[in-house]
Chains A and B, each alone.
Chain A
């Protein structure tokens, strides 16, 4: 699915959160959005997800304007504790993702099992979220996103609430899922390393109100791996460049 962002802007009351932004994200692309905190990157993601009404401009998914959460788009939030429903088992949590399209029973079971296998938690269907570790819960949240068979996966700081080791595991999981499911991914993060390591392109936003400072192509070879990729000189260069942009004081000069 192709995402087109046309002069999209948002303000909260008097305070502008996002200056008009335009961008295109192609089918199957992996785009990371980075920027200093409070720059509106999460707002941008909520607008793409149809969870916030746009102030100006619009978002098109394969030419269809977004007004409300669209079919074929799944969201993974940062806070798994407030995104998984603790009173439902893992299986029922996952089943909720397909309620809107009512697949046949067998089909649903198949999708749930496949999603759980994909995230490496095949034996947890009967458990409750609170019986799992934080990293496992975030995996369940990702599995739930997959059950809807999305063509776009939107992720809002999905690895911010877990420890470093778990974060690396989850990053590699996302890379594998991208291959397996062929989805378009937009990832919002404040972690510069993460954005360069995972994405094909990095959109760097300015401090609030956010606008695109740089649309940077990450020309690192696939497949990527924690040790190999992060040891490449080109990784260090890209990382330094993004870092400079994020840290740059506001001077109004666009690249």
Chain B
């Protein structure tokens, strides 16, 4: 089947092949949209070569550096370099812990607020206030609490994400179609089943949107915390390369962070598409 999906002469004969060709075209469309990005990278390359600056090495140099810095042929390490294994797991584990904490707290708070108008009124000025404090402004204070440790990064990521998740969840829960809630009531669903089978799935589009936005925020805050006060991690590496004038390595670290961000976003996309299959009805 996959063979025929490539098009070719058979595609005019069989029914359904037009559809398959359409699917192929759809799969290729993102690639077709990449030309502008490629052109911009080319401009970067040419500009950096025409007017060399230590701060902006050509893209080809960065790409070569990227391969050297983060990958290694040793099979025991999954082809990853020591530098990768020293920095990435540390950073990702901070992000994962902070974000997971924010997700659990944020969804719990959001459900509480979404189910009760009074709770919403009670909490909204407080939440609005905390949302308006840039997470980073709390960083010096977090240092006072936790000292220079992992906990600072985890706290910062969680603090910066939790309000976004909570407000998105509250909006989603408050906006659940009353028809579904009435049906749930007529089925006499107990609290737990109501929450797990009806309220959370119905609010899932909004909750997932909150999780997605907060993941981007979490990444920004992870880097700040690591730039400011840690002894390992990607942000720490970037600061180190900057202070020691190793600019190609700094750029290769940028590239890695960018690719990690794209990968994480792709993962959220996959989860979203799987969880929200039901929305594509009609």
Q: A247 on the interface (CB 8 Å rule)?
A: no
Beta-carbon contacts under 8 Å, B183-227 to A: 183-190, 193, 197-198, 201-202, 204
1/0 contact string of B54-96 vs chain A (CB within 8 Å): 0000000000000000000000000000000000000000000
| Contact between chains at B185 and A69 (CB < 8 Å) | yes
| Contact between chains at B201 and A85 (CB < 8 Å) | yes
User: Roughly how many angstroms separate A129 CA and B183 CA in the complex, as a whole number?
Assistant: 15
**Of B37-45, B142-150, B163-171, B174-182, the one with at least 4 CB within 8 A of chain A:** B174-182
Q: B278 on the interface (CB 8 Å rule)?
A: yes
Q: A128 on the interface (CB 8 Å rule)?
A: yes
Which listed residue, B198, B277, B279, touches A85 by the CB 8 Å rule? B198
Determine the residue in chain B with the shortest Cβ distance to A83: B183
Chain A contacts of B184 at CB under 8 A?
A: 96
| Contact between chains at A51 and B185 (CB < 8 Å) | yes
User: Closest Cβ of chain B: how far from A224's Cβ, in Å?
Assistant: 28
User: Roughly how many angstroms separate A201 CA and B55 CA in the complex, as a whole number?
Assistant: 88
User: Roughly how many angstroms separate A97 CA and B198 CA in the complex, as a whole number?
Assistant: 13
Determine the residue in chain B with the shortest Cβ distance to A144: B187
Query: Which of A86, A100, A148 is packed against the most chain B CB atoms within 10 Å?
Result: A86
User: Closest Cβ of chain B: how far from A172's Cβ, in Å?
Assistant: 25
Determine the residue in chain B with the shortest Cβ distance to A100: B188
Chain B contacts of A144 at CB under 8 A?
A: 187
With A82-B179, A97-B187, A130-B281 in contact, do A87 and B204 touch (Cβ < 8 Å)? Answer: yes
Which listed residue, B186, B187, B282, touches A99 by the CB 8 Å rule? B187
Chain B contacts of A82 at CB under 8 A?
A: 177, 179-180, 183
User: Roughly how many angstroms separate A167 CA and B184 CA in the complex, as a whole number?
Assistant: 25
With A82-B180, A85-B180, A87-B201 in contact, do A100 and B278 touch (Cβ < 8 Å)? Answer: no
User: Roughly how many angstroms separate A77 CA and B178 CA in the complex, as a whole number?
Assistant: 13
User: Closest Cβ of chain B: how far from A73's Cβ, in Å?
Assistant: 8
Which listed residue, A71, A86, A96, A128, touches B193 by the CB 8 Å rule? A96
User: Roughly how many angstroms separate A203 CA and B187 CA in the complex, as a whole number?
Assistant: 26
Q: A49 on the interface (CB 8 Å rule)?
A: yes
Which listed residue, B190, B278, B282, touches A87 by the CB 8 Å rule? B278
Q: A232 on the interface (CB 8 Å rule)?
A: no
A residues sitting closer than 8 Å to B (CB atoms) are 49, 51, 69, 71, 74-75, 77, 79, 82-83, 85-88, 92, 96-97, 99-100, 128-130, 144, 148
| Interchain residue pairs A-B with the least CB separation, the first 7 | A82-B179, A130-B281, A86-B278, A100-B188, A87-B201, A75-B186, A87-B278
